[in-house]
Amino acid sequence: MLVCFASQKGGAGKTTLAALLGERLAAAGVQVCLADGDRQGSLFALGERARGLPPVRAVYPMQFPALARDAGLTLLDLPSGLGVEFHAALEVADAAIVPAVPSAFDLRTLPATLAALRKAQERRDGLPRVLLVPNKVDLRETLSKELLSALRELGWPVTRCWLSARSGYRRMGAAGLAGLPQAARRAAEAEATALADEVLAYLVLPGEQGAAA
**Contact positions vs ligand ADP (CB under 6 A):** 7, 10-16, 42, 80, 135-136, 163, 165-166, 169-170, 173
Q: How far is the CB of 146 from Mg ion (least distance, A)?
A: 24
Check residue 159 for interaction with Mg ion (CB under 5 A). no
Task: Tell me the one-letter amino acid at 37.
Answer: G
CB 137 within 8 A of CB 165: yes
Q: Which helix (H) or strand (E) holds 187?
A: helix 182-203
- We find the least distance from the C-beta atom of residue 201 to Mg ion, in angstroms, to be 25
Residues in binding contact with Mg ion, number by CB under 5 A: 3
* 136 part of the interface to Mg ion, by CB under 5 A: no
Of how many residues is the chain composed?
213
Give the residue with the Cβ less far from Mg ion, 42 or 63: 42
- The listed partner (Mg ion, ligand ADP, none) that binds 12, CB under 5 to 8 Å by sort, is ligand ADP
Among residues 128 and 168, whose Cβ is nearest to ligand ADP? 168
Among residues 7, 9, 14, 93, the one that binds Mg ion under rule CB under 5 A: 14
Please list, in sequence order, all residues whose beta carbon lies within 8 angstroms of the beta carbon of residue 51, skipping any fewer than 6 positions away.
175, 176, 178, 179
The 8-class DSSP code of residue 55 comes to P
Q: Which is nearer to ligand ADP, 124 or 166 (CB)?
A: 166
Q: Is 15 in the site for Mg ion (CB under 5 A)?
A: yes
Tell me the CA distances in angstroms from 124 to 89, 102, 155, 158, one per residue in order.
Answer: 12, 31, 20, 21
Rounded to the nearest 5 percent, the helix, strand and coil shares of the chain are: 55, 15, 30
| Shortest distance, position 136 Cβ to ligand ADP, whole Å | 4
Nearer to Mg ion, 9 or 14 (CB): 14
Q: Is 32 helix (H, G, I), strand (E, B) or coil?
A: strand
* Per-residue contact flags (x/-) with Mg ion for residues 33 to 72, judged by CB under 5 A: ---------x------------------------------
The least CB distance from residue 77 to Mg ion, in Å, is 6
Q: Which is nearer to ligand ADP, 18 or 120 (CB)?
A: 18
Return the closest-CA partner of residue 117 out of 68, 75, 71, 154.
154
User: DSSP of 69-101, one letter per residue?
Assistant: HSSSEEEEEPPSSSSHHHHHHHHH-SEEEEEE-
Binding site for Mg ion (CB under 5 A): 14-15, 42
